[in-house]
Amino acid sequence: MSWSRTKTLSVALFLSLVVNLLVGGAMIGHWGWHGDHHDRGGKHWGARFWLQHALGDEGAPKVEKLWEAHRAQLKPLRAASKQARSDVHAALSAKDFDAEAYARALDASLQKSMAIRATHHAFMIELAATLTPEQRAKLAEFAGRKRWRRHRD
């Protein structure tokens, strides 16, 4: 059996496809494609994971313990925020648009979002109070890194 140029190219393209699928699968697995991760107990690429990463093995149990306490507070707030966003959408897409109803819905949505943010702030205050000065310094250094910030300058 002799190898022609067409056979060689076919094998090379097939191998390239296999490698791309493996690399793509590994990347998706690495970045944690979990859909709605808020209701799951595992690690994900959110703030809790990054806090555990910043504080290392000695600080991760503190993060997890406090997070479990705050999770119960956040779940109804997230549901209320989701409903408020739906109310905003309904007010905006209403057949008979009412600017005042839309403004009230936006304000309610903002208030729900601020309640979630206040709960996150309470969590961070409580966490910072339990950390050693060295752990707080690690957390401050980590939080100051550019990759941590969502908004680029």
Q: Higher model confidence: residue 142 or residue 123?
A: 123
Confidence band, pLDDT 50/70/90 cuts, at residue 37: very low
Taking a C-beta distance cutoff of 8 angstroms, is the pair 35, 120 a contact? no
Q: Mind listing the pLDDT tens digit for each residue in 19-32?
A: 999 988 877 776 66
Confidence at residue 24, expressed as pLDDT on a 0 to 100 scale: 85
**Whether the predicted pLDDT of 36 surpasses 50:** no
- pTM assigned to the model: 0.59
Counting every residue written for the chain, the total comes to: 153
Q: Is the dihedral of CA 78, 83, 87, 89 positive or negative?
A: positive
* CA-to-CA separations, 124 to 74, 103, 119, in angstroms, rounded: 14, 31, 9
3-class DSSP assignment, residue 57? helix
Q: Which of 26, 47, 28, 52 is nearest to 37 (CA)?
A: 47
Structure tokens at 26: 């590994």
**Whether the predicted pLDDT of 5 surpasses 60:** yes
**Whether the predicted pLDDT of 68 surpasses 60:** yes
